[in-house]
Structure 1
């Protein structure tokens, strides 16, 4: 009997050991057993994600899921016509309008490279009022859907309570997913795009720098580390936020939370909720964020949160605690220079981590984060254009922009493939002069034009003079022009008698970075030309000119106006005698929409306003006026009608930018020893005081 009991015990023991072996238990000695129980939540999450991937997500690449043959006409984007019975949220309307106004938009479906749905896919939470039901039936009926090939789908919210997994509720197939809260586990490398989560109130247009964006930001602010937000007493996303009270010290670290969210928060509250809610009310959110050097960005129910964009807007360095989150536009933005990413399980190390960062490093990170906000996140328009540019670079791999193009001013949205952002405004040692001739009758030796060309040619900095001959008068013979040095090339180009004064100029290939434009009747000396060029070399990102004007806002008519009055302040300089970087010429040609360029061809002086607004938009600095001793003889602002036309042009550009980028200045550059009793022979620019240059 005892023998049978021993056999049974041996059999049971063997069976137990076999069970432990296959179920994950480990026996490590006669007296010690280390048990590693399976994580059922991880198994459930992995299973759900696996089902989600197999059901909705092909592991696409550009080579396997994108049809490049559709892009033979270039990178053109087509938006489907809207469906009457499907409403669009305000945010999705902003997205579509941004596409409509982009240089890539096309109404011709046959030349489309990329397709965008007119069906609102932003909110795919079934509990949301904005959730579009039966969306798959609408999408499958689209003529060009083809399993999502060459389509891009925008999404801000996916999944719902209690799991919040990335289920959009329809098969996205081969479509590129531009999604907020993008997870590493579902992101398709070099195919999907991670975008930021933004509020419904996020502006459609914009780009003006915030008050926090300044070179005079303090090294450290009032609080070292700040956070104010919801905490969840149950469910996903609750671990980190429920532990924040441990690091809150009411002095340099402020981390306050509230349980007041949701309809049944009182039923679910814990013993700390009342005290937390009271402490939460002590702090104003905006004041806290603006006065904190670092701001915690823990995950919420989803991986991403509104706080990420909010803190970089207010100049607070984000400390991101959201494991597995692919940061917005991470493939082109170097977030290591603007944010701190930590493990959300190591919350208590965050205070020591930020204290170890030097003030200089913190200052640089804050400046970089503000720059990135300004360039890529300050409006829906910029988010959409950044998304399209990322996709376009995958399509056009021959001339991709470098990391410096994306992460340095003025940014990739305004950096053409031919320019390096770090060397964008490098001054050149020579300039190209462009002279527009509309009505001058050329008289050898005595006409304004003859003297102008002669004075330009005597400059040691000029390398080429381009005469744009629009005059009905006969062109002079080559021998009739002034004799110029061997270093100067003179070229006369006959152009049609059209209303645009600089249309051809903007399409010409300029051999130098510096372009010095003149009108035919300008009276200017060689000394003034050389002095203006030396000023430009010191400020090569700005437009430097002699004649100026300003702008003002009319509250009654809610419009911007140009004023021709001579004021102490100015915001524009005119191109009748001005020098500027050829980069702005390229932007005019390739970046602006065709209707804006058409406006420039119809309104005299409109191109002056456009170029000044482009330069101020990029540099966020005013132009520079060079002091002259007289009227140059060709100021555009003589008539009320011309002023009104320029004002109309300004308002058109303001709608395009979303704000008026022009900045006023009182700076006037004047050569040293301009008017004094010192002998003229000792002066650098001797001919500036001469009566007749």
Structure 2
């Protein structure tokens, strides 16, 4: 009987404990969610601003809360109108208003958009809208702070509560709290913001982009340090871990920087801070200020940056820091101490291959962490910093271009580029998924995938002069030489001449390969690099009608290209140089042991570059070429070197590759290559192209590819390409 009573008593107590536990769990369910989220960014749960019961005390408050929840839940599927993008991805920038002041940084952003391939001046065909209202600096103490932004945004004709709009912001909040709130309602707009926290960031909708300085260049930008210097071999430098910056005596951001002296040893770990900033720093200075300031002045920041293997990037007043981009450029592996920071473009960039994540609460472990990283891993990290810097961060153009490309991938999900494309050379901004949906189609990945290009090429001959004689025509001579090639699949003749092409019965009948003559839409010189659907091969052998190449020269150039399918391979080489007397870039055709261009009058390249030429290049560049009817070959060299960061490849030593006259009968018309004005145009083109690109992408080379046994004192019968010896 006693056993039964004890059993009942234990059962009742157990039931009461279960009921009490369930009530407790239900009451604190929200707290459990906060704790789970907090572990992601090492943030204190108190930083989370949830909704209390007081938020639901009135219908008005409930409606406001519901609206706020909707904004926080915004995704492309809920807050973006895909119907506006049915005709393609186009971006409209509202007209700039003189009444609205604008910072230089925001002006750069708008210029980058307007010069991008996505820009449209017609709002009716736009998919995305960008206000000409400067929202970059929303710190009320800043000279660039713009008031009444909310009113200005709502006055925009296509605002529609922000739907399909992008709002850019670099700074939000002000002293002493520096909260992330912008101070105005963005509605359903996409927020592209620096220093975003994982708490405020809406994955798949917002874009976290980097904090960049006012001096950050519009175009081009500084090269990565490994590529710009000879210091590209050793992975270790004078200092293991370094930092030099402000130390905040009061307010947010002071804890981490105030503790750096604990791990500073003045030898391999140099962490320098100064109290000298702000108007009242002397009133708040502590006992370490004088010593810190003295030590701070002993080191030059640039020298420290370029001589350190790891660079500490602690949070400042906000989560982001200028040190982040500076470290990337310097090939100094960033060591991040900014808990909860949503890294720039983390949606597409694999930052585990670039940075070392630290925890602000575990500062004292940083020395042992960086010392544990092996030399090979350090080199991999440093090399990836250079790629990421040059592909996505070195200029405002690249930063904004990356923002637009990320949003484009969300809209065109069926053509979204994989993370592998974003994180391997040459980067996703050089990969247009409209061209192909597999990596094997792009020349940059052949070696990486173990793929070889197809064994045939399409010859594209650019013809501008009439055929007066079938026997003496340079065009027909070239056709016969090309047709005898082992690797030819098809010949396309682009006929840009006032006189119609010869009738079909006058063309050589014994070529053995199809010849397609295109006359329609061949109105500008850029037409020679159009991605014609008739080009079905990987390789395009571009030829001027008066090229003197033999069949052996054509075959040898193609065989070399098969080993280097990402480059231009050919015969006529040219060079660029800086002209001090004119303070500009210039062009030379002098024979030398160095070159940076291979002209497309006799060169082979991958057909993908035709697609890039037509769809990626700025309209300013295309217009410059077409108006001058010149320099299209130089522009293609700029494009390929810009994408690959590699020089072209010259084959053999032929000096003359064109006929002196354009026709035996038409002797009054000389070649443009002997025209001085034609040459002066090309000099100006080089400087104009460099200006539009924002830097000089051409890369010089001293390499030349010759056939085996070329010029060796052996019988010509032992050589594969015998005609080359006789040229």
So what's the TM-score if we normalise by structure 2? 0.85
* 2:392 maps to 1:366: no
Kept in 1: contact 2:193–2:208 (CA 8 A): yes
Paired residue secondary structure (1:234): coil
Counterpart CA distance in 2 for 1:161 and 1:415 is 43
Aligned-pair distance for 1:473? 5.4
Paired residue secondary structure (2:673): coil
Aligned-pair distance for 1:553? 2.8
Match of 1:287?
303
Match of 1:13?
none
Kept in 2: contact 1:436–1:501 (CA 8 A): no
Match of 2:34?
none
Number of positions where the alignment pairs a residue of Structure 1 with one of Structure 2:
652
Structure 1 residues 676 and 556: alpha-carbon distance in aligned structure 2, compared to 1, 3 A threshold? closer
Counterpart CA distance in 2 for 1:42 and 1:384 is 33
Counterpart CA distance in 2 for 1:489 and 1:615 is 29
Match of 1:596?
621
Aligned-pair distance for 1:637? 3.0
State which drifts further: 200-209 or 596-605.
596-605
Paired residue secondary structure (2:491): strand
State which drifts further: 568-577 or 188-197.
568-577
Kept in 2: contact 1:410–1:421 (CA 8 A): no
Counterpart CA distance in 1 for 2:165 and 2:723 is 64
Task: Specify which of 75, 78, 81 is matched with residue 95 of structure 2.
Answer: 81
Paired residue secondary structure (2:494): strand
Counterpart CA distance in 2 for 1:444 and 1:259 is 84
Structure 1 unaligned spans of 5+: 1-17, 23-40
Kept in 1: contact 2:443–2:565 (CA 8 A): no
Paired residue secondary structure (2:116): coil
Aligned-pair distance for 1:381? 0.8
Aligned-pair distance for 1:601? 2.6
Cα offsets for 1:552-599 (capped at 9, x unmatched):
333444333222333333222211111111121111111123343233
Aligned-pair distance for 1:375? 0.6
* 2:463 maps to 1:437: yes
* 2:583 maps to 1:547: no
Cα offsets for 1:438-483 (capped at 9, x unmatched):
2242655554333322221222222222222345254253684253
Aligned-pair distance for 1:626? 1.8
Structure 2 unaligned spans of 5+: 1-19, 25-42, 56-63, 447-452, 660-670
Within 5 Å, which residues of 2 pair with 1:183-582? 183-207=197-221, 209-213=223-227, 216-417=232-433, 418-419=435-436, 423-425=442-444, 426=446, 427-441=453-467, 443-444=469-470, 447-471=473-497, 472=499, 474-477=501-504, 480-481=507-508, 483-485=510-512, 488-495=513-520, 498-500=523-525, 502-503=527-528, 505-582=530-607
Match of 2:170?
156
Aligned-pair distance for 1:42? 5.9
Paired residue secondary structure (1:637): helix
Paired residue secondary structure (2:213): coil
Counterpart CA distance in 1 for 2:51 and 2:364 is 30
* 2:110 maps to 1:96: yes
Structure 1 residues 599 and 503: alpha-carbon distance in aligned structure 2, compared to 1, 3 A threshold? farther
Paired residue secondary structure (2:106): helix
State which drifts further: 408-417 or 545-554.
545-554
Task: Specify which of 119, 142, 149 is matched with residue 156 of structure 2.
Answer: 142
State which drifts further: 234-243 or 202-211.
202-211
Counterpart CA distance in 1 for 2:462 and 2:378 is 50
Counterpart CA distance in 1 for 2:209 and 2:131 is 17
Structure 1 residues 430 and 246: alpha-carbon distance in aligned structure 2, compared to 1, 3 A threshold? same
* 2:699 maps to 1:663: yes
Counterpart CA distance in 2 for 1:629 and 1:652 is 29
Cα offsets for 1:313-334 (capped at 9, x unmatched):
1000011111111000000000
Cα offsets for 1:515-537 (capped at 9, x unmatched):
11111121111111111112222
Aligned-pair distance for 1:193? 0.2
Paired residue secondary structure (2:413): coil
Structure 1 residues 190 and 496: alpha-carbon distance in aligned structure 2, compared to 1, 3 A threshold? closer
Kept in 2: contact 1:502–1:607 (CA 8 A): no
